[in-house]
Chain A
Amino acid sequence: MIKVDNVKKSFGEPPIEILHGITFEIPDKSFVSITGKSGSGKSTLLYSMSTLDHPTSGSVYFDGVEISSMNEKEVHEFRNLKMGFIFQFHYLLPELSALENVLMPARRTGQHIARRKRAVDLLTEFGIEEKLDRLPRQLSGGEQQRVAIARSLIQEPKYIFADEPTGNLDSANGEIVMNWLKKATRDSNTTVIYVTHDPDFAALADQKILLKDGRLEI
């Protein structure tokens, strides 16, 4: 379970407050959308929740453990083992093949050999079993994003954070990607929190967070 408690976030000097005290809870195994106009603070909220950024004030708890109470090492381990990230731009490492990219998080703890079968299974499920050894530039945008999703799933994380995962794809490919994401997490213990502009994709969520000017809109 994730608990977001009165999170505020300011940028700059003098500080301009972007998030004005956000509070909500997300139960385990949820599929959660964050929507709102451009500039309403969706990305800011997502990153403040996900350890990549820190709230200016307020707290974020994962299963009762406050992020700010973890030390550096614990944060890195937490990211590596419990979290997956998907960004608008696929961000694959260009020197590595599709399969190697998927296994990169597992490589940190030397698990890339043990996880290889899972990686192949994921890529097969996503329809790119023929292209395991291709470099990112030899894949289409949609295929690249599917590899990125496979990578976010490789460690069987408890939480996946996705910032407009379909933002760079045409609607057909976007739909494929979202459906895979939903399908891949449906039978697992994974919570997915994704930012999206698209009402159709937002409709897939079991919990919807709507932001307006840095405040929750119920």
Chain B
Amino acid sequence: MIFLAFRHIFARPKQSLLTLLGVSLGTTAFITFAAIMTGFQTFIIDQLVNNDAYVKISAKEKMVSEKDLNESLFKEKNHVFWLTSPSGRQESAKINYPLGWFHKLDKDTRVLAYSPLIGAMVLYIKGGISLSGKLQGVDPVNQAKVTNIASYMVQGDYQSLAGGGNRIIIGIGLATKLGAKLKDTILISVGKSDPIPFKLSGIYKTGIVNLDDTVGYAHLRDVQSALSRPSEITDIAIRLTAVEDSQAFAAEYSEFTDEKVQSWDQSNASILSVFSLQDFIRTFITVAIMIVASFGIYNILNILVNQKRKDIGILRSFGYDPSEIQNLFMIQGLFLGISGGLIGLVLGFVMSLYLSTLKISGMTDNMRINFSPKLYLMGIGMAIAASVISSYLPARSAGKLNPIDIVRSGE
């Protein structure tokens, strides 16, 4: 039947080519979309994972409760009635007994490095401009092991923080907004006391606006004294040897502590949920394209089966059986689907190659394009699935045609 199937295909080059083109374009679109989107997502996830810790232990903010006050204030009384319940933060959040954590992390073989942090919301002030943002006090040596921040420096040197002495590194967005240049002095207000001067010793750029526009880094001790919270820390950033262990690690540590232990994906849940929306839209578009391509095959085959009733009748009269007739049309649908899919893969690959040479405005790097074979397998898999599904019905109806009806009806 392959012989006759190919004769049918080549006897109608225009129709066949059109169908082929439909499937090719569908597959090309799928590959290109998916390559861009997953490439972008991998890039962002890469950034998220490497800019922040794999796992972060953060102090939990403790709220004042009736019980806390009852115990400390009215110990001997049995019943205390509050007209207005006490509320508000108990104190600035901090990690209790950080040394205990350090010991534990030192012993855990999954941990590659960890770094204590103190974070606070501050105002960055320069000239007449004041911008709110986050100041992170870091241990520069360990922080560089935990995140890739050191590799994102565009001006100055990350390790300049190591000496202490109120030096600061800020993101490029923040620097631009403040109009700050290297070696400028930036005032930092933590609310209670007078603003404290820090000297700008470096500018970094991660490509993530959220960080680049708001976050500054200074030495742990400098920030602790600026906040008047000596030797307190609010977070411990941890890098593991394997990023895949993050979730399990975070879950395990959460078990025995009140502090918040979050893996990188939990901290970035909102961004990741945007990704799943993107994935959904991509799947939706792809399915829509494939349905259109399937309809192409379905239509062509249906028309063909109708045009070929006489041929089917005559083939049946010399002994070809229903399954052979069904194959005659299945082969055509599958051939068009598979070869269309393969052409689509090639075109998709060429598109991807081209796209990977383009720069996105605002990013220093070229576009990240996913070239993973998995994508191409999915692409051809979809083309095959679409052609099997859309060929089956017309082919089966051809197999079921009764030869006597065709032969008798004459035309």
Contacts and interface: CB of A to CB of B under 8 A. Distances in A.
A58 interface: no
B315 interface: yes
A93 B4 contact: yes
Contacts of A163: 407
Size category of the binding interface on chain A: 20 to 34
Interface string B377-411: 00000000000000000000000000110011011
A80 B318 contact: yes
Contacts of A88: 410
Contacts of B314: 85, 87, 91, 93
Contact of B407 (A52, A105, A107): A52
B317 A85 contact: yes
B8 A95 contact: yes
Contacts, number: 67
A155 B317 CA distance: 13
B408 A108 contact: no
Interface string A36-53: 000000010001000011
B contact face: mostly helix, strand, loop, or mixed? helix
Contacts of B316: 52
Most chain A CB within a 10 A radius of its CB, from B8, B316, B319, B410: B319
B359 interface: no
B310 interface: yes
Size category of the binding interface on chain B: 20 to 34
Contacts of B319: 76-81, 83, 105, 108
B3 A91 contact: no
B404 A52 contact: yes
Interface string A126-164: 000000000000000000000000010001000000010
A84 interface: yes
A27 interface: no
A13 interface: no
B7 interface: yes
Contacts of B11: 94-95
Contacts of A105: 318-319
B315 A104 contact: yes
A72 B321 CA distance: 8
B403 A108 contact: no
Interface of A: 43, 47, 52-53, 72-73, 76-81, 83-85, 87-89, 91, 93-96, 104-105, 107-108, 151, 155, 163
7 contacts: A52-B316, A52-B403, A52-B404, A77-B319, A87-B407, A93-B4, A163-B407
A-B CB proximity, top 6 nearest: A80-B319, A79-B319, A95-B7, A105-B318, A91-B314, A95-B11
